[in-house]
């Protein structure tokens, strides 16, 4: 990768992280589901990967299992995460988002769509078309990173 591409990828990375931070902060501050930093990260993984285990969450987030366990206790007590024993291996507990969590996430996603739509409305027509043209490539990157995270 040449220096120009490397710089552009760095700018893209910072932009994506900043957008993500703003959106997840809005999720954590939702009236329906007000969560701390780690709890919001944990619920995000559970919603994105239903059936995930505590260890998988810890690995994905780069956190200690004990810290993830504490967040999961809180999320379970609040009725946001359901624990289900794995039928194939009764030693394993799989984690699923509750109906309440899914409703909250749908509400948040709708809010995110509005936030992003407002931001996109500030772009010129040419910038909007460039952004929309980039969506398939961004989805491909998302799929690659998602599959890399599952290894």
In a domain, 142, yes or no: no
Q: What is the mean pLDDT of residues 42-56?
A: 93
Distance between CA 136 and CA 120 in Å, rounded?
17
Share of the chain above pLDDT 90, in %: 53
Question: Which DSSP state fits 90?
Answer: T
Distance between CA 50 and CA 31 in Å, rounded?
23
Q: Count Cβ atoms below 10 Å from residue 111 Cβ, excluding itself.
A: 14
In a domain, 134, yes or no: no
Q: What is the mean pLDDT of residues 116-131?
A: 93
Number of independent structural domains in the chain: 1
In a domain, 136, yes or no: no
Q: What CATH number corresponds to the domain at position 109?
A: 1.10.10.10
In a domain, 55, yes or no: yes
Closest CA to 102 of 91, 93, 110, 92: 110
Question: Which tops the pLDDT comparison, 58 or 107?
Answer: 58
Q: What is the mean pLDDT of residues 66-79?
A: 95
Residue 44: is its pLDDT beyond 80? yes
In a domain, 104, yes or no: yes
Q: Which domain holds residue 34?
A: 3-120
In a domain, 112, yes or no: yes
How much is the pLDDT for 112? 83
pTM for the structure as a whole: 0.66
How much is the pLDDT for 151? 43
In a domain, 141, yes or no: no
In a domain, 132, yes or no: no
């Amino acid at each position: 990768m040449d220096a120009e591409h490397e710089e552009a990828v760095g700018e893209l990375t910072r932009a994506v992280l900043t957008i993500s931070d703003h959106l997840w902060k809005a999720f954590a501050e939702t009236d329906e589901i007000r969560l701390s930093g780690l709890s919001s990260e944990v619920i995000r993984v559970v919603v994105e990967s239903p059936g995930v285990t505590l260890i998988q969450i810890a690995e994905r987030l780069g956190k200690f299992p004990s810290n993830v366990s504490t967040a999961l206790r809180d999320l379970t007590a609040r009725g946001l995460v359901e624990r289900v024993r794995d039928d194939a291996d009764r030693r394993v507990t799989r984690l699923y988002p509750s109906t309440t969590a899914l409703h909250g996430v749908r509400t948040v996603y709708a809010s995110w769509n509005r936030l992003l739509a407002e931001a996109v409305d500030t772009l010129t027509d040419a910038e909007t078309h460039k952004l929309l043209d980039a969506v398939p490539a961004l989805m491909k990157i998302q799929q690659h990173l998602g599959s890399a995270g599952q290894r």
